[in-house]
Every structure is written in structure tokens, then in C-alpha cells.
Structure 1
Amino acid sequence: MRSAVNTSTRNDTNRVNESFKSSSSGVAKETGRCLASRSDSSLVLAKCRTWGTLPDHLEIPDVSIPVDGKGKSALADAVLPETFTVDSCKLGDEFVDTSIIPGLRSKVIGKGVTATVKLMHRKGTGKQQYYAVKEFRRSRKENLQAYDRKVKLEFSIAKNLHHPNVVETIRLCSHAGRWSHVMEYCSQGDLFTIVQQRYLSFESQLCLFKQLFQGVAYLHSIGIAHRDIKLENLLLTQDSHLKITDFGCAKVFSELRRDLRSNDAECGEVFGKIRKCGPGVCGSLPYIAPEVLAEDRSYDPRFADIWSCAIVCLAVIHCGTPWGAAEEKDAGYSRFLKWWEEFLRSEPDRIVTGDVYPRIGKFFSDLRTKTLLRLILRMLHPIPEKRTTICDVMNDRWIKRIECCCPEPGKPSNCFEEFDGIIYRKVHNHLPPAKKGFLQRCI
């Protein structure tokens, strides 16, 4: 019996070692802008570009297309025709610039390699309701047909998503030979900018984590994996609601029953076979799961999303990520992997529970509660199949007790407090503190 246990242990340890050795051939990895190290346990948060391998051609039903740098997307639909149409309009027919000065363009609120986001409002509704209009530019390597399909495929996914923690995509518009997605406007910007200001309380951080989990649970429940979850793709509204955006790397991994295509779909009720993603990198380097970076096998995109969510949580708390890339050549990740190897050596199927978890460094041990630490470690299990699912996360008793100012549709809010026999709804405010005027600063 001992021999059998030892053999199993060696096999599992080898699996941890060999499963996630990254093959860097064929991929030019842009690490320069992603992360800058201050010390072994402290990292500087820096913006990351979405990247990945460029596909040679479009495939049906699993369509791979480059977006926002070098990412990939797929709309896996067996009945998708070679050419398809999407309802669209001329941008100027329904939306106008926000500038009150004739001839002056709308305010640009975001700019990337392949897209620019500006503010506009709908005609005839006044200027109170703003919309974010994302205009896509065609790359030099992209022909017109590939450009059209890329924008329309992403729109086809985003337009059908309706959840409080997912950005609402409203319209597909064209202007001057370019396509634009019209989306709801999240006035407080992205989580990257917010985290840099270091004002979020621990309670606010937990509320945002729960909102992220709610959004991802909804996506997975309808058969969609995001595959590029990062601080820059999480937006905040004036009501402190977190919204997931940018579905350029999204993967439709399963078809669902028609009655589940709603924002109250239950976790795990996927109808049909799970379609795994083929080898190839997409996403933003510090957030990418090790099995994706390895590029040597197909992977389940749901587990990749879970990994990215855990890195987001750590980035919010520490204003930095624990490693630049989940590869053995990265010192931070190499140490993390060795901790897991030691943890699994005596018992390959060992799970994180109570005080039983891998020996960890300061970056992890500094987390405020052991409950959060255990959850993060379960989300960062180096073997994807043993990683916790988003359903497990949402059903965790500790997560359920977190006060959240944006409850799931159809479910009561737990964000209440009682004072003098009267129950009040607590209002969370995750917005940056108001800047004081000159007179206030002098008082």
C-alpha cells in the first residue's frame, strides 16, 4: 500500500512539475509593460496589454480572431454561416457627440492599440444619459472581411449578456468605414485606476470581489468564458456597481437549454459537451493561468477564468500581482509551485481546508483573513481540474455572508443594518474620496 501511495505521489508531483512548464517558442511575450518588481514580496502595478498568438485563419464553428493586440476570441456556433448579418445603424443617425462646441469631437475616455472609446449620447434624449462608444480600428494585417467578422462576433456575444455585473452592450454602429460598439457608460472608470489610489477599505474590496464572482458565475452559467479578466476590464459605475467588459477574448464553451438563457440561471446547468480551448495564449500576462501559458494542451476556459479572478483579488489587496507570469522561470511563481509540490507530496488529493494549506510567503500570508487565503489558494490550484469552480465560490458560506451592494437578480440583498428597531439598507460607496477645495484644505 505504501508503494502505491508513493507512486501516486510521484505521479501527481510530476504532474505539477510538467503540466505547467511553459513552452515559449512561437510566442513573443510582452513582459516589459506588465510588471515591475520592487522586491520579492512587493510588486508595482502596471497596465497590461491583452496578447496571444495570432491565428492564421478563421475557423467555423470555433472562430479564432485577433483583437486588441494579439488576443483571440471564439463564437462557437455550429449553425453560424460563412457570412452573417447583424442589425446595425449609422452612428450619426442615433448618437451625437457630447461636445457643446460645433465641430469639436466627443471626449475620449479610453484609447488602446486597436480601439478608442469616447462619450456620446442618444439623439432626442438630452445630454443626461451618456454612452461609451468603442470604435475599432482595422490593423494592417487584417483584411476588411476579417475586421467585420471580428467586430460582429464580439458584438454577438456581448449583446446577449444581461446581468448587473456585466456591461450592457446596446448597439452596433458604423461611421467612416469603422465599426463601433455602443455600451453603457461606467463613469468611475476601471478598477486598475481605482486600485492605484489605494483608498478602498477591506469591506469595499470584499464587496467588489463578490460582484466579480457574480458576473463570472452568470457568464459560466450561460456557457461563456471571458478569458481576459483583469483590473482594466472591470469598470465601476456611479452606484459602486462593478461591471465586466471587453469580450474580445470570450469563448462560447457550451450550448445551454433555452430556459437557462437568463440572468437567474443556476451554476453548472450546462447543456451539452464542454468545448475546450486549443493550445494558444490569450489574455494579459500576469493574470493568465499556467495551463494556458504552457501551450501544450487543450484547456477548460472556466478554470482559466477562476485563476484570473484570484489574481484580480490579490492585485486589489496588494496593488500588485504575485508574479509577472505563471511560468517556472518567474521566481515568484516558481516558489509558489514548490510550496504546492511540498503540500501534495504526502497526499496528492489533499485539499485546502482549515489550517491545512501550502506553506506560503508573505504576499499570501498578509491577507486579512484565513478564510480569504484558503479561497484564493483553492482558486490558484496549479492542477486546473482540482481548482475550485465559480459555483463552489458562490456557494461558499463566507462569500454568501459578504455584504454586497449589488445583489444578484431575484435574490435578496444582505446589505442591511438595524438601528433603533428600524432596518436600513446600507449604501456602499466604493468611489474615490471627493477632492477638497482650497477653503476646505485651509480649515
Structure 2
Amino acid sequence: MPYIAPEVLAKKGDYDPRPLDVWSCAIVFMTMTYGGAPWSAASKEGQGYARFQQGWDAWLAEHPDGVVRDEKGGFPKCGPLFDRLDSPAIRRLMLKMLHPLPEKRIGVAQALGSPIMRLVECCSPESYEERSGCVVDACKKGQAKSAAKMVQRKHSHLPPTEHRTPKFFQHRFDMGDGWS
């Protein structure tokens, strides 16, 4: 249940999946970084989340607007779990994504547009329209020669636009068992 945002667990207000998705993505990052979830549930009963919430409560008392900023003192101190993140930029992004007030939590577009995320290399175009002229060289200078032989140069990760399987072998699961 760590992936469920506190407002959903508390059943406060109308359900909006967008802030929940941002919360869940941040928890996935934290889980992958530390090899386990930061808390079992986003409720004050758990020690890990209680420490996290105490940091937010203290910070929100001094910053009533609740906006996390990219400056000194512009974000809460939520314990050693967040202090150990590799960079202040990642820490700020995680805190923006894990804001306890869903209306202050950043959106997906803001998270992806953050300076730290713009540094993440992605060799996949986002749509078929971008496919033309979008060619990525996956073999960068400095990689081992053997690895360069295994990687297909200039590729994309988009699935093909049409089936390459003959119609005879295609089966739609919404059309019955395929035998009658």
C-alpha cells in the first residue's frame, strides 16, 4: 500500500488519479533506489511515514503556501531516507512528487519537464509522428567494441505500425476461442 497516496487512503475529497499516479511514480523510484518501499502505507501509524509527515508539517508551518522551491530551505527535511538521495535535484523532485497536499503535488508534465529529468537520456520517440528523422545512435564513444557489435545502431523502440504476423495466425481474444 505504499503506492497509494495519503488522500486516497484517508478517503478525503473526490478521487483524482493524476496526483495518485505522480505519488506512485515517486514511490517506485524510492523503492528501486533503496531496494524496498520507504513505508508500508502512507499513514501516520507507520514510523517511516510518520517521520516523513513530521518533516512536512514543520515545513508547512513556516511555508504556508506549500510550494517546494529549488533553493536553500525551499523544501522540507523528511529524514535520512531523503537526505541519502544522490542529488539535491532528485530530492526536491521526489518531495514535489510526494507532497502530502494533492493540489500542491506536481503533475506528470512538470515532473518530466524538471531539469533533472531532462538530463535522463531516452532513445525512444514519443509518437509515430516523430518517427521520421528520429534516429538514435545507441553506440556511444567509449563503449566496449564487443558491446557495440551486439547493439543495432540507429534504432527506435516503437512497435511496428502493422502486424507482420499473417492473419491466419492472429487471434483476437474478444472474438471467442478461435475455433468456432
Deviation at 1:418, TM superposition (A): 4.8
Which of 47, 55, 79 aligns to 1:339? It is: 55
Which of 41, 65, 71 aligns to 1:349? It is: 65
Per the normalisation by structure 2, the TM-score is 0.68
Q: Counterparts of 1:19-418 in structure 2 under 5 Å? A: 285-352=1-68, 353-355=70-72, 356-409=74-127, 410=130, 412=134, 417-418=140-141
1: CA distance, partners of 2:90 / 2:101: 20
Which stretches in structure 1 are left out of the alignment for 5+ residues?
A: 1-284, 428-443
Which structure: greater helix fraction? Answer: 2
Structure 2 residue identity aligned to 1:322? P
Q: Is the CA contact 2:56–2:76 (under 8 Å) kept in the aligned structure 1?
A: yes
Q: Is the CA contact 2:54–2:78 (under 8 Å) kept in the aligned structure 1?
A: no
Structure 2 residue identity aligned to 1:363? L
Which structure: greater strand fraction? Answer: 1
Q: Go from structure 1 to structure 2 and tell me whether the alpha carbon gap of 1:350 and 1:290 turns closer, same or farther (over 3 Å shift).
A: closer
Which residue matches 1:265?
none
Count of residues in Structure 1 that have an aligned counterpart in Structure 2 = 139
Kindly provide the CA deviation profile for residues 184-236 of structure 1, in whole angstroms up to 9, marking residues without a partner as x: xxxxxxxxxxxxxxxxxxxxxxxxxxxxxxxxxxxxxxxxxxxxxxxxxxxxx
2: CA distance, partners of 1:391 / 1:364: 23
Q: Is the CA contact 2:19–2:107 (under 8 Å) kept in the aligned structure 1?
A: yes
Kindly provide the CA deviation profile for residues 270-294 of structure 1, in whole angstroms up to 9, marking residues without a partner as x: xxxxxxxxxxxxxxx1210001100
**RMSD of aligned alpha carbons:** 2.5
Kindly provide the CA deviation profile for residues 349-401 of structure 1, in whole angstroms up to 9, marking residues without a partner as x: 14222332111212111111111111111000000000000010121232122
Say which SS state the counterpart of residue 386 (structure 1) adopts: coil
Which residue matches 1:430?
none
Residue identity (%): 40
Per the normalisation by structure 1, the TM-score is 0.29
Kindly provide the CA deviation profile for residues 132-161 of structure 1, in whole angstroms up to 9, marking residues without a partner as x: xxxxxxxxxxxxxxxxxxxxxxxxxxxxxx
Q: Is the CA contact 1:403–1:414 (under 8 Å) kept in the aligned structure 2?
A: no
1: CA distance, partners of 2:137 / 2:90: 19
